[in-house]
Chains A and B, each alone.
Chain A
Amino acid sequence: MTNKPETSTAIDYVLQARDVAVYYGGFRAIKEIDLDVPRNQITALIGPSGSGKSTLLRCFNRMNDLVTGSSVAGKITFNGSDIYDHAVDPTEVRSRIGMVFQKPNPFPKSIFANVAFGLKINGFQGDLQEGVERSLKAAALWEDVKDRLHDGAQKLSGGQQQRLCIARALAVEPEVILMDEPASALDPLSTLKIEELMRDLSANYTIVIVTHNMQQAARVSDQTAFMTMDEDRAGHLVEIGPTNEIFTNPRNQKTEDYITGRFG
Chain B
Amino acid sequence: MASTNDTNQGQVPRFSLGRRRKGETTERLAHGLFLAAALVSVATTVGIVLTLFVQSVGFFSEISPWEFLTGTEWSPILKDENGARHYGVLPLVAGTMLVAVIAAALAIPTGVGIAIFLSEYAPDRVRKVLKPAIEVLAGIPTVVYGYFALTFVTPILRTIFPELIIFNALSAGLVMGLMIVPMISSLSEDAMVAVPRSLRQAAYALGATRFEVALRVVFPAALSGIVASFILAISRAIGETMLVTIAAGATPRMTLNPFESIQTMTAFIVQVSQGEAPRGSLEYNTLFAVGLLLFFMTLGMNVIGSIIVRRFRESY
Contacts and interface: CB of A to CB of B under 8 A. Distances in A.
In the complex, A touching B (Cβ < 8 A): yes
Contacts of A121: 206-208, 212, 216
Given A108-B221, A109-B220, A101 B198 contact: yes
A94 B198 contact: no
A39 B315 CA distance: 41
B196 interface: yes
A66 B198 CA distance: 12
Contacts of A95: 206-207
Interface string B201-220: 11111111100100011001
Interface residues of B, number: 19
A122 interface: yes
A108 B123 CA distance: 26
Nearest to A172: B206
B198 A91 contact: no
A165 B199 CA distance: 11
Interface in B32-82: none
A251 to B, nearest CB: 34
Most buried by A among B199, B208, B212, B221: B208
Contacts of B220: 108-109
B201 A94 contact: no
Contacts of B123: 68
A256 B199 CA distance: 38
A61 B205 contact: yes
A33 interface: no
Interface in B164-214: 196, 198-199, 201-209, 212
Interface in B289-316: 315
B221 A99 contact: no
Contacts of B207: 91-92, 94-96, 118, 121-122, 172
B201 A66 contact: yes
A103 interface: yes
Main secondary structure of the interface of B (DSSP, over half): helix
Given A103-B198, A108-B221, A109-B220, A117 B203 contact: yes
Contacts, number: 62
Given A105-B196, A105-B199, A99 B205 contact: yes
A117 B204 CA distance: 11
B6 to A, nearest CB: 60
A98 B203 CA distance: 11
Given A101-B201, A117-B216, A121-B212, A107 B221 contact: yes
Contacts of A227: none
Most buried by A among B198, B205, B206: B205
Interface string A9-37: 00000000000000000000000000000
A169 B199 contact: no
A95 B212 CA distance: 14
A236 interface: no
A103 B199 CA distance: 11
Contact of B202 (A92, A96, A105, A122): A105
A107 B199 CA distance: 6
A169 B203 CA distance: 10
Contacts of A109: 220
10 contacts: A61-B205, A63-B204, A92-B207, A101-B201, A101-B205, A121-B207, A121-B208, A168-B202, A168-B206, A172-B207
In the A-B complex, the 9 residue pairs with the closest CB atoms: A95-B207, A99-B205, A105-B198, A118-B206, A94-B207, A105-B202, A121-B208, A108-B221, A91-B207
Interface of B: 123, 196, 198-199, 201-209, 212, 216-217, 220-221, 315
Given A99-B205, A107-B221, 12 more contacts: A63-B201, A63-B204, A91-B209, A94-B207, A95-B206, A98-B206, A101-B205, A103-B198, A109-B220, A117-B206, A168-B202, A172-B207
